[in-house]
Amino acid sequence: MPHDFMPGLAGVPAATSSISDVDGERGILEYRGIRVETLCSDSSYLETAYLLLFGHLPSKSEFQQWTEDVIHHRRIKFRIIDLLKDLPETGHPMDALQAAVAALGMFYPGRNVKDVENNYWSAVRLVAKLPTIVAAWARLRHGDDPIPPRDDLGFSENFLYMLTESFTPPLWAQIFDDCLILHAEHTMNASTFTGLVTASTLADPYTVVASSIGALKGPLHGGANEEVVMMLKEIGTTENARTYVERALQNKKKLMGFGHRVYKVKDPRATVLQELCRRLFKECGSSPLYNVAVEVERTAGESLNKKGIYPNVDFYSGIIYDKMGIDVDLFTPLFAMARVSGWLAHWLEQLRENKLFRPDQIYAGAHNRPYIPIDRR
Q: Residue 27, Cα to own-chain centre: how many angstroms? A: 19
Distances in whole angstroms, Cα of residue 347 to Cα of each of 176, 195, 203, 371: 25, 7, 10, 45
- 3-class SS shares of the chain: helix, strand, coil, % to 5: 60, 5, 40
Rounded distance between C-alpha atoms, residue 243 and residue 240, angstroms: 6
Rounded distance between C-alpha atoms, residue 298 and residue 302, angstroms: 7
> Would you name the residues annotated as active-site residues?
260, 314
Angle, CA of 81, 106 and 48, to the nearest 5°:
75
Rounded distance between C-alpha atoms, residue 265 and residue 23, angstroms: 10
Rounded distance between C-alpha atoms, residue 20 and residue 36, angstroms: 10
How many other C-beta atoms are found inside a 10 Å radius of the C-beta of residue 10?
Answer: 7
End-to-end CA distance of the chain: 32
Angle, CA of 197, 201 and 206, to the nearest 5°:
80
Helix/strand/coil for 72? coil
User: Can you give the C-alpha Rg of the chain in angstroms?
Assistant: 22
Rounded distance between C-alpha atoms, residue 265 and residue 307, angstroms: 10
